[in-house]
Structure 1
Amino acid sequence: MRMDKYGRELDLILLLADNGSYTAQEIADRLGITRRNLYNYFDYLRDCGFILVKTGTRYHLDHSSPFFRRLHENIALSEDEAAYICRRLSASEQRDYTAQRVRQKLARAFNISVIANPEVQRRVDQCMARLKEAIAARRMVVLRKYSSPHSHSVSDRIVEPYMMMNDGRDVRCYEISSHINKTFKLSRMESVDILDVPWTFEPMHKDLYTDMFMFSGEQRYPVTLRLGQLSHNLMIEEYPQSEKCITANDDGSWTFHTDVASFLGIGRFVLGLYDDIEIIGCPQFIDYIREKIRSMGENGHV
């Protein structure tokens, strides 16, 4: 007799979370239950917010399910957090070998090349100082030999820098040639030359808005949701800052309203708890979710 109340549920989660996929009969055999009981467990997992994916006759759990995201966020460092620790450790004395060893390990694990290479760090610091000077003087600059992975090119960029971002690792600029606001990484530029040319396109400078799901963009989309008890509780647990965006309704539900810069973050949350959430605002977001569900059906995910 099993003494742990949720033993089979945990065994099922572990089985479905590994890299393999199993048929219903294979899962039932491994757990020692009937297929009918297995489908009841599947319903239980869905009610708990897990995304159960069926491909043909095989099942697995999507790692973007709220439970896995919450688990990862609680035990793992983000890239920004690792970079922050590396920068702090870089300021320690060179005789502190433990600090330098930890810094190098984090740099390798998170591919933080700027921190791993002191020469690169010095170049980034010089670029940061020049960019801050240009922003204060409201002057155009040339980003020398900027390496772009998107265009697979290395070129000089004439821009109007107007905002430092991500603890000085990025700079937000208006690019003269494309007439677009772009974010440039300081680690990808060789140097910065300040031009004796004042800003010309200041009205085009736009702040970059970062929503509570950590997606950024210039445009904001107001989204309103009606949350059930499960989605309300998970929203508060996963995104504590959401509490100020939630109001209680008389029928026991909650209304959630916020601006988002992208539908990716909030869309992942809604799709994972689709039966417990109603979208009551933002036609663009409704269209986005409908298209996601349609494409998931075509690819055999539902």
Structure 2
Amino acid sequence: MTDNEQLPLQLYLIEILAAGHYLSVKQLADRTGMHTRRIYRLLEKFPRLGLTLEKSGHAYRLSPDAPFLVHVSEHLHFRPDEIQTLATVLESLSDTSTPVRLLREKIRRLRNDHVLVLDDSDQRIGQNIRQIFEAIRQERTVVLKSYLSASGNTIADRIVEPYLFLPGNRDVRCFEIHSRTNKTFNLARTDSVELLDLNWNHRNEHETDFVDLFHFTGSTRTRVCLRLGYLSRSVLIDEYPRAAKHLTAEDNGKWRFEADFCSMRGIGRFVLSMPSDIEVIDSPELVDYLREQVQIAQSKWGATFNADCNDSIGASDCPTP
């Protein structure tokens, strides 16, 4: 079998393993048509290529934290023109192999739905995402009906010009007409999205600033360095897979995390959620924010509030603000 013949089968095997179901070598061989010896050799090879495997008894699947999958997922946020290009290339191929056929079907679904919608999105959120996608494509203004503010204090219709999806397609950058400011809106917080018969009128005011891991945006960045334990590292990757590339393993079973942030609010909340498992290193801006939040909490609930917070922000290698 030539390399060109083997590659589609190997890709198909990776796709099956990435589906999340534990499968035995025999089941994998039956699904792919490959010999069991070939399956075993590939299962031995995959971890060296960043395709980390999880094993349950005699069954295997790809780990969701596999470095290769994490790296690839960061680049699977397709623009409409990219989807069209992929569709054109795939349709022009004479290849009828199973992987190519499956890719063609997936791209057709994307084009029919007009936008990438995550599998775990409910029907309402999925419809909101599609409406926003159409608004961006047509450069139209929309109404976010009954939008719940981040604080949860107000519910109101918000008239906006959406122009940029953030990773995951659940958050979108918009120019809000009333406040004349650029904001990030969470599509899970709006009942529905209504397209208006009104084109963008504020294109020059749309801002595409840096977006940090917690989806805060801004033109200024602040470097933050943390030392994470097993729990905090696992939670961070589960909630924000893009964080994996900012982690470096240390000899003591800890992980060093370094990244730029536009606001201390997102990363600050993360640190405060698990203070006993996180150490702040050389990040005075974050330390200032954490101490301010701890003082607010102490003024409300007393000095006994989460004493572990002081352990997290008072490390010897953390500067005094």
Alignment TM-score, normalising by the size of structure 1 = 0.43
Bigger Rg over Cα: 1
